[in-house]
Structure 1
């Protein structure tokens, strides 16, 4: 990846490329919030379940191609590909970082 992503985001993206649930979860704060196309998951246990049920089975891998700061958040855009209808789809990931970790992540198509 040629762009410079903050460490917790880079760690998440790299773990996602390996479909590594533990690695994907590691950069999140314990009480982080993940909003996936309007569905809200609070805390690491709920986020782990999201990864286990909706990311891993369809091998959904996000490949960022743009990054910018917006309103204090880091907005990353790119294609997600996998075994799901419409693949690849363009996603926007809006990360809120705090204390060197992901505090919140919102994904939209």
Structure 2
């Protein structure tokens, strides 16, 4: 296996900060979820960009109340030393009812510096 090839991993291979964020997000625990991000982190979700922990906290609060849904981790992989992808299957009362989303994480100093969520 070449070092530059993506590695598919099981959820327990994801770094602690990512699993902490995902667990808190699923539990609608915004206070804990936001601690996983750097102060100047960026989140891109549904075409919107949120920069800094205050904006991310607002986004987290809205995303947990806007729709009701279930979320299941279906795959995860490490693409290099600081980049991870966690694929989730969501079902709920949002437009379309089901979607598979890729959560693309970039880490810095054991925190999430960037998160891009897209189909």
TM-score range, shorter chain: 0.7 to 0.9
Q: Which runs of 5+ in 2 are unaligned?
A: 1-9
SS at match of 2:117: strand
Residue 84 of structure 2: aligned partner: 74
What stretches of structure 1 move > 6 A for 4+ residues in a row?
none
SS at match of 1:84: coil
Structure 2 CA distance, aligned partners of 1:83 and 1:24?
A: 23
Residue 39 (structure 1) shift = 1.2
Matched, 1:44 2:53: yes
Q: Which runs of 5+ in 1 are unaligned?
A: none
Structure 1 or 2, whichever has the larger Rg, is 2
Give the total of aligned pairs.
108
Root-mean-square deviation (CA, aligned residues, Å) is 1.7
Normalised to the residue count of structure 2, the TM-score between the two structures is 0.80
Residue 60 (structure 1) shift = 4.7
Normalised to the residue count of structure 1, the TM-score between the two structures is 0.87
